[in-house]
Amino acid sequence: MANWLHYHAWEGVQTRKRKHAFMPFDKMTSDKMSPDLKIGDTIWGFTRNDNQYYLMGSMTISWIGESKDIPDYVTSELLFNQKKFTACCPTEDAGIYKAIALDELVYAPLPNFDGGSELGSLPTISLQGFLQIVDDAFVEEQFIGLHQ
């Protein structure tokens, strides 16, 4: 099973925290979904503001498909429902959604991005729609236990 980083725009994070503060991280929507994303993989949401990185939450994927067909076990309000695809988990199994500042996130190794890169080397424009595999050892060392 793979670990993925998914970018959440800072403005969207602020809106979600203000309007949907208690909504768990039970879905990710996109107009383009990687064919390598599989059931059982974990998605780690992150954001960046003024060169500070924040881990937003995690979910282990139990379903991937068109947003219009999202399973009934996802009971939280559907945000960004104009997006074509959704990867999700049951709402009752979802992790919390909160910003945890992580100084080391800037060093997250992205083995499949541009021949291998670190997250901090990417310009903001590269983060739009960002969904990339992150090194498993880095996830184990930096993320595990933060969004239980």
pLDDT of residue 147: 59
Buried b (16+ CB within 10 A) or exposed e, 100-139: eebeebeebbbeebeeebebeebeeeebeebbbbbbeebb
The closest of 132, 94, 126, 97 to 113, measured between CA atoms, is 132
Is 148 contained in some domain?
no
- 104-135 residue pLDDT tens: 999 999 999 888 999 999 888 788 889 999 99
CATH of the domain at 27: 3.10.590
DSSP reduced 3-state for 110: strand
Provide the whole-model pTM: 0.91
- 55-109 residue pLDDT tens: 998 999 999 999 999 999 999 877 656 789 999 999 999 988 888 999 999 999 9
pLDDT of residue 125: 78
Is 147 contained in some domain?
no
Number of structural domains in the chain = 1
**β-strand 27-30 against 85-88: which pairing, if any?**
antiparallel
Is 70 contained in some domain?
yes
Domain that holds residue 9: 3-142
